[in-house]
């Protein structure tokens, strides 16, 4: 089976993990975090060209901590897409705030600024655009709307480390940005996450929130939790940061080759391929195509052929049993996308032989 994603782990990560085990310091409850946590944070901030990076133990924790740092209160409303992993909505709901679902654009699967504008109420406090599959949302229009209504923008960049919009890294454009280092992501620590910000005030709050609201000893000052990233996880993430550009370049090359192969084989075959534009650069976390009426058939054919083609996300969040209570009007493109998208692997372990094989099998699947 060609997996949909595969962590790029080698002897560098193993050696760094062994150093942690030899030193015997597996985590740190200090405000600044452990040694390797600090190393990773510095490398990430430098890569993204941002002032602060605060490591936490998951992308969900990054979103949760950011919402708390923003001062969101019970009954406040936060605008989010429904076409995303449920962690985005869970992070809103667990603070007592209400998620309000916004439709997406058909070409990028990211938040539609026009629908966003129409969902703002007097209770709206923040917007969380999701850069899904590594496709950047239209941050200029989203920020313009946010500024007009004095709303906070927290970017869900969990899938978009290395993607850019107008030359700016996703996760650095709003007031805060949230990243995931889950095992499948372009950079992994097994489980892990990070929040980025240029605000000293938010950075100070976030470091307290990830550590039970403490600064020095048992001096809890604000509500917080154990969101600390362990040193073993940080050791992996730190080592991954040193090869992040190489991994991104390989993904981009694989995506380009797959796009060329598919473009040659399936012209006018009712399939939509992903494309960057002059303003966006993708990290190619996933290579996501749309098949209007044959998605499930094609997925089964590819899976049976040993290709880990995967659907993200069906159902969308607003159609899940819990979140159906928050449904607030039509989400036409979201519902279309949930029945049409199919993601293909382009991770760095994919070979040219794999790419040829996948393109041929996609062609067979569509013609069958």
Is a pLDDT exceeding 80 seen at residue 166?
Answer: yes
Q: Tell me whether strands 164-165 and 168-169 are parallel, antiparallel or unpaired.
A: antiparallel
Q: Are residues 209 and 335 in the same domain?
A: no
256 found inside a domain: yes
Residue 257 contacts residue 352 (beta carbons within 8 Å):
yes
For 151, list phi and psi in degrees, rounded to 5.
Answer: -110, 145
Q: What's the pLDDT tens digit per position in 282-316?
A: 999 999 999 978 999 999 999 999 999 999 999 99
What are the Cα distances from residue 173, in Å, to 42, 54, 99, 128?
19, 16, 22, 12
Is a pLDDT exceeding 80 seen at residue 269?
Answer: no
6 found inside a domain: no
Is a pLDDT exceeding 90 seen at residue 326?
Answer: no
Q: Tell me whether strands 124-127 and 77-81 are parallel, antiparallel or unpaired.
A: parallel
Report pTM. Answer: 0.98
Q: Are residues 326 and 231 in the same domain?
A: no
Helix/strand/coil for 155? strand
Q: Considering only CA atoms, which of 358, 97, 129, 350 is closest in space to residue 247?
A: 350
Q: Are residues 105 and 216 in the same domain?
A: yes
3 found inside a domain: no
CATH number at residue 151: 3.40.640.10
String of b and e for 29-41 (b: at least 16 CB within 10 Å)?
ebeebbbbbbbbb
The proportion of the chain whose per-residue pLDDT surpasses 90, expressed as a percent, equals 95
Is a pLDDT exceeding 90 seen at residue 81?
Answer: yes
Q: Which tokens is 48 given?
A: 């993204």
Mean pLDDT of 318-341: 93
Distance CA(291)–CA(270), nearest Å, equals: 6
Residue 96 burial class via C-beta count within 10 angstroms: exposed 0-12, middle 13-18, buried 19 and up: exposed
Is a pLDDT exceeding 80 seen at residue 233?
Answer: yes
Residue 125 sits in which domain range? 11-241
pLDDT at residue 368, as a whole number: 81
What are the Cα distances from residue 327, in Å, to 142, 243, 322, 324?
22, 42, 10, 5
- In DSSP notation, 290-356 reads EETTTHHHHHHHHHHTTB--B-S-SS-GGGSTTGGGG--S--HHHHHHHTTEEEE---TT--HHHHH
Among the candidates 208, 241, 274, a domain finishes at 241
pLDDT at residue 62, as a whole number: 98
Is a pLDDT exceeding 90 seen at residue 103?
Answer: yes
4 found inside a domain: no
Helix-, strand-, coil-residue percentages of the chain, each rounded to 5: 40, 15, 45
Strand segments (E) across 216-281: 271-272, 280-281
2 found inside a domain: no
In the beta sheet, which residues pair with residue 77? 98, 124
Is a pLDDT exceeding 70 seen at residue 234?
Answer: yes
Residue 126 contacts residue 150 (beta carbons within 8 Å):
no
Q: What's the pLDDT tens digit per position in 30-67?
A: 999 999 999 999 999 999 999 999 999 999 999 999 99
Kindly give the residue spans of alpha helices, DSSP state H, lying in 50-183.
59-69, 87-93, 113-118, 139-148
Backbone φ/ψ region at 342: left (φ over 0), alpha (ψ -120 to 50), beta: beta
Q: Are residues 237 and 271 in the same domain?
A: no
Cβ atoms within 10 Å of 46's Cβ, excluding its own = 11
What average pLDDT is seen over the chain?
A: 97
Q: Please, which pLDDT band fits residue 119 given cuts at 50, 70 and 90?
A: very high
Among the candidates 201, 226, 241, a domain finishes at 241
Q: Residue 143: how many CA atoms within 13 Å on its side-chain side? A: 12
Among the candidates 214, 241, 268, a domain finishes at 241
Q: What's the pLDDT tens digit per position in 175-197?
A: 999 999 999 999 999 999 999 99
Q: Please, which pLDDT band fits residue 268 given cuts at 50, 70 and 90?
A: low
């Amino acid at each position: 089976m060609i997996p949909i994603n595969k962590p790029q782990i080698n002897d560098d990560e193993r050696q760094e993990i062994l150093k942690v085990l030899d030193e015997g310091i597996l985590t740190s409850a200090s405000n600044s975090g452990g040694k390797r946590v600090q190393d990773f944070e510095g490398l990430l901030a430098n890569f993204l060209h941002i002032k602060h990076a605060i490591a936490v133990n998951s992308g969900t924790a990054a979103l949760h901590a950011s919402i708390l740092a923003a001062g969101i209160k019970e009954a406040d409303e936060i605008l989010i897409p429904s076409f995303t992993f449920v962690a985005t909505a869970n992070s809103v709901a667990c603070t007592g705030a209400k998620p309000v679902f916004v439709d997406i654009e058909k070409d990028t699967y990211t938040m539609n600024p026009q629908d966003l504008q129409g969902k703002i109420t007097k209770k709206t406090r923040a917007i969380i655009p999701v850069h899904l599959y590594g496709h950047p949302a239209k941050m200029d229009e989203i920020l313009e709307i946010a500024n007009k209504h004095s709303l906070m923008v927290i970017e869900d960049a969990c899938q978009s480390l290395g993607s850019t919009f107008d030359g700016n890294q996703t996760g650095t454009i709003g007031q805060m940005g949230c990243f995931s280092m889950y095992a499948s992501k372009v950079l992994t620590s097994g489980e892990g996450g990070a929040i980025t910000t240029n605000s000293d005030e938010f950075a100070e709050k976030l470091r307290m929130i990830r550590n039970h609201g403490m600064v020095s000893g048992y001096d809890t000052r604000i509500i917080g939790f154990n969101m600390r990233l362990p040193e073993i996880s940080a050791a992996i993430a730190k080592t991954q940061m040193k090869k992040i550009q190489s991994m991104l370049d390989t993904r981009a090359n694989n995506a380009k080759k797959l796009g060329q192969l598919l473009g040659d084989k399936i012209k006018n075959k009712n399939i939509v391929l992903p494309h960057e534009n002059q303003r966006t650069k993708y990290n190619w976390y996933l290579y996501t195509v749309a098949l209007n009426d044959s998605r499930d058939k094609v997925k089964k054919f590819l899976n049976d052929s040993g290709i880990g083609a995967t659907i993200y996300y069906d159902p969308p969040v607003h159609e899940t049993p819990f979140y159906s209570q928050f449904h607030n009007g039509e989400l036409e493109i979201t519902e279309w996308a949930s029945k049409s998208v199919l993601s293909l692997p382009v991770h760095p372990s994919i070979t040219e032989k794999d790419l040829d094989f996948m393109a041929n099998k996609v062609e067979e699947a569509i013609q069958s």
